[in-house]
Amino acid sequence: GYWAAEKALSLAKSISTGHSKSFFFFNKKKQLHTR
């Protein structure tokens, strides 16, 4: 719940600022480190 909401908020933020690609790349790296 909370994680999904925060992810959606970050995604919206990154898109509005034009850094969606950087966000996705960073998110993938974060997931790799988490697992």
Residue-range domain boundaries for the chain: 2-34
pTM exceeds 0.85, yes or no: no
pLDDT in tens, 1-22: 788 889 888 888 877 776 556 6
Question: Both tokens of residue 32?
Answer: 């790799």
pLDDT digits (tens, 9 = 90+) for 23-33: 677 777 777 77
Please give the pLDDT value at position 23: 65
Query: Who's near 14: CB < 8 A, 6+ residues apart?
Result: 20, 22, 23
pLDDT of residue 13: 82
Give the amino acid at 28: K
Half-sphere exposure of 12 (CA within 13 A, CB side): 6
Cβ–Cβ < 8 Å for 8, 20: no
Amino acid at 21: K
